[in-house]
Chain A
Amino acid sequence: MPDVGSRWILARAEFPSLLGALARAGYRVVGPTVRDGAIVYGSIRSVADLPEGWSDRQEPGTYRLERREDRALFGFNVGPHSWKKYQFPPREQLFTLHRDGSSTFEVAPPPGDEPPTAYLGVRACEIAALRIQDRVFVGGAAIDAGYARRKSRRLVVAVQCGQAGGTCFCVSMGTGPAVRDGFDLSLTELIDAGRHEFLVEVGSPEGARVLEGVPLRPADASDVRAGEARVAHAASSMGRTMETEGIHDLLLANLESPAWEDVGRRCLACTNCTLACPTCFCHSTEEVPDLSAEHVERWRRWDSCFNLSFSELHAGSVRTTTSARYRQWLTHKLATWFDQFGSSGCVGCGRCITWCPVGIDLTAEVRAIRSAAARTRSGSGGSP
């Protein structure tokens, strides 16, 4: 069995044997696939389901698939879906209650029968996102049973990025593009004239077990250097940068910045950013009774701090304006998340920028707040 930390070379022609090994090890495989003009996450039954030869072009509010000149399997950046849909499903039944005429309720748990699942193609920023959601759902005093169950059944097959997208900024957030930990297997696609192979790194005993029987050869120093060069290329071509210096105090010291009003005029309060975000975890629970109210289901569904109803208390909503909701989201994501969970809530994946229908870019919003604060400071001594 390969050692944890060892590196191997898998030929492109042998890639199906990796999928076969995952299936033999008892995993259903989910990963990137082309559907409806984007690369989304879905069931992967064969290499033909992967986005071979596809890439994407991303800008604020715009995403387009493009053909690559080569036949790379992972030659694209993150799309509209994230792995949170598997860990923290959009709708999840928490339990059911039955009364059947008696005065006491009987509580039944949900089936909880999700199969062991291999996530194929997890990028460095997405590993960071999984770690953040793990902290939220199972890293504190209260453990979310469903999330914990699904986490115990997941296998992470990472892919190191060889290119960056137009809205990527993982370098700024310190989350990528290199995959350093939090994986069972890590792949780096080595593709150029005459070569199409994968550098495979073993990250866990379970990853090593899965690899048994997969035809591999040991990687040599030049293979490792080739992998590092791919990642370095991605790191040098980030589409965005986020100035994170002092960001916690900057945002919390500027809660009345005019920049919030400005973004409030552009923001649609449509919730796309939060639902595309791989770390946003806000949800609502709702009771679904039948007409007799003898049988009730409790469901949890994705919700968003951009919804008026999300902050509704007994006397109405706390955040009635869109600018207040944008401020709540951004200050939580980039500042108070540190206080609550010990890290930033942003991994620099760029989804909230690409999938905003009006292309609001949080890196630009932070810049606007920073420069408004600087103007205020310099303006206090004279005219601007």
Chain B
Amino acid sequence: MAARPRLAVWKFASCDGCQLSLLDCEDALLSVAGEVEIANFVEASSAVSPGPYDLSLVEGSVTTPDDARRIQEVRAQSRYLVTIGACATAGGIQALRNFGDVEEFRRTVYARPEYIATLATSTAIREHVPVDFELRGCPINKAQLLEVVAAFLHRRRPTVPTGSVCAECKRRGVVCVVVAQGTPCLGPVTQAGCGAICPAYRRGCYGCFGPHDSPNLPAWTRRLGELGLAPEAIVRVYRTFNAGAPAFRAAGDAAAREGA
């Protein structure tokens, strides 16, 4: 029998929620374990086998000089590198530092700031090394994760739709919260994947999966204004888990200029 493909899971600056999605696959995780050798997954097991690895799943963003060095090592040991989640794909919520003064944070927060070695920015893995596939979400959808793992096992492209959350609302029969309630929502500019969880509970979408493949942010910013959001509020809407995604960053910056 041929050796099973070897899987590694890596953590950078993140909350571990996306790695937990893999553990949360439960029965399906047993199937994964049957098809691949889980060679390096410290969240699940302290038994770590050295590389190289066939597939590396990378969670988290690059926020320290050590991260920036370590991601190069991960890339060098990995045949395929897939980022999982908003941190690895867009810098995560911690990319809010990109809009602030990290030096000031360090002086204010830490008793011994000289102990802290950190970068001025939180950046996506893609900005440091080539990435074979980016799986969106805060957190990722575990069905999509299994699809990505299966696709890489069988050398095919993953089936991960890149259109809007609105399509998920409409397929579920969820009543549009913008049209029927006037609730601000990022669904029309956000990529599908969550299954439209928030609108199904009559909340606006928070944009956890980042911008979809053709977002019209200027038009949506105008509409958010008509729905009653002031420019400062629109800035906050765009600057959350995917604040560093280029389309949301540009829209947030434009709203910030508008409010200034």
Contacts and interface: CB of A to CB of B under 8 A. Distances in A.
A307 B163 contact: yes
Contact of A304 (B167, B179, B189): B167
Interface in B21-73: 28, 31-32, 34-35
B102 interface: no
Contacts of B181: 37
A57 to B, nearest CB: 11
Given A36-B202, A268-B188, A291-B32, A358 B175 contact: no
A272 interface: yes
B179 A309 contact: no
Interface residues of B, number: 45
A266 to B, nearest CB: 5
A357 B179 contact: yes
A307 B154 CA distance: 26
A269 B188 CA distance: 8
Interface string A261-303: 0000111111110011000000000111111110000000111
B170 A269 contact: no
Interface residues of A, number: 47
Nearest to B143: A288
B220 interface: yes
Contact of A358 (B170, B172, B180, B223): B223
Contacts of A90: 170-173
B198 interface: no
Contacts of B188: 268, 270, 272, 357-358
A85 interface: yes
Contacts of B172: 90
B15 interface: no
B35 A40 contact: no
A24 interface: no
Interface string B174-195: 1110111110010111000000
Contact of B149 (A81, A287, A291, A358): A291
A265 B219 CA distance: 7
B159 interface: yes
A129 B222 CA distance: 33
A40 B162 CA distance: 27
A371 interface: no
A62 interface: yes
Given A268-B220, A357-B223, A291 B150 contact: yes
A268 B216 CA distance: 5
11 contacts: A90-B173, A269-B214, A271-B166, A276-B170, A286-B159, A290-B31, A291-B146, A291-B150, A303-B167, A309-B162, A355-B179
Interface of B: 28, 31-32, 34-35, 146-147, 149-150, 153-154, 159, 161-164, 166-167, 170-176, 178-182, 185, 187-189, 202, 212-216, 218-220, 222-223
Given A272-B166, A272-B170, 11 more contacts: A36-B175, A90-B170, A268-B220, A276-B170, A291-B28, A291-B34, A291-B150, A307-B161, A357-B185, A357-B223, A358-B188
